[in-house]
Homo-oligomer: A and B are copies of this chain.
Amino acid sequence: MDGVDGEPRVTEADYEKPDTSVDCVLFTLAPEGLRVLLLPRDRAPHEGRATLVGGYVRPKEDGTLDDTVRRVLRDKAGVEGVYLEQLGTFGGADRDERGWSISIAYFAVLPDALVAASEARAGLSFQAVPIDQLPDLPFDHARIVAAAVERLRAKVAYSTLPGFMLEPTFTFAEYKAVFEKVLGRSVDQSSLRKKLMDADVLEEVGKESLPTGRGVRANRPGRLYRLRKPEPVLFDRNL
């Protein structure tokens, strides 16, 4: 609660506020699979080690927690306009060697083009690590990443989240590819199509086609679609 506090009145000495920060797991898709984007820490402790993008809450600058995350992503990683979701909050005495701390964890998904754009904007480059080859992360960041991967996998299967990892317009084949890369198993395109069409979550975009082809020869291009909603739509079944 807020301000309710009972019994032996807590004095300032007893009540030291914990440090409060936000951390964000940035996901992106490489041709080989899901990756997490890391940045080197710019100060002690663990200076130079790869970590999640994060920063302290600044009450004087941020109106809400969401503002905090967006500010941190923008200022430290050049990331803007991505799908962002609160993951959970981790707090305790042992997660940071400097003392009791709280981290409100988020995750975001970045279409490929935004990775490059962000790097350019912030004048830095990410370390894009496959999720099964994560380095030893400082603090409890490994746990946060694990929770984020779990959430992402679940949500890819029962929502239109895959659409947020793609360019604004995409083909079924691309959507299917996201699905398969994240879930690590193949999906029948027919089922996927039926599901998405029945749910009426996609909008055919113009009559334009996509060049297509993977190099040797060009093939029939797929239709382009766009998500109708700017937020993921949830299904009540799992695929």
**Which A residues form the contact surface with B (CB < 8 A)?**
1-7, 10, 14-23, 41-45, 51-60, 62-65, 67-68, 75-76, 86, 88-96, 98-104, 138-139, 141, 236-238
A198 → chain B closest CB, angstroms: 16
Name 17 A/B residue pairs within 8 A (Cβ), A-sorted: A1-B51, A2-B19, A3-B96, A6-B55, A10-B58, A14-B58, A15-B59, A17-B20, A17-B57, A17-B59, A57-B102, A65-B89, A65-B92, A86-B88, A89-B89, A102-B102, A102-B104
A205 and B100 alpha carbons, distance in the complex (Å): 44
Residues of B within 8 A of A75 (CB): 6-7
Contact between B3 and A59, CB atoms less than 8 A apart: no
A96 and B68 alpha carbons, distance in the complex (Å): 17
A73 → chain B closest CB, angstroms: 11
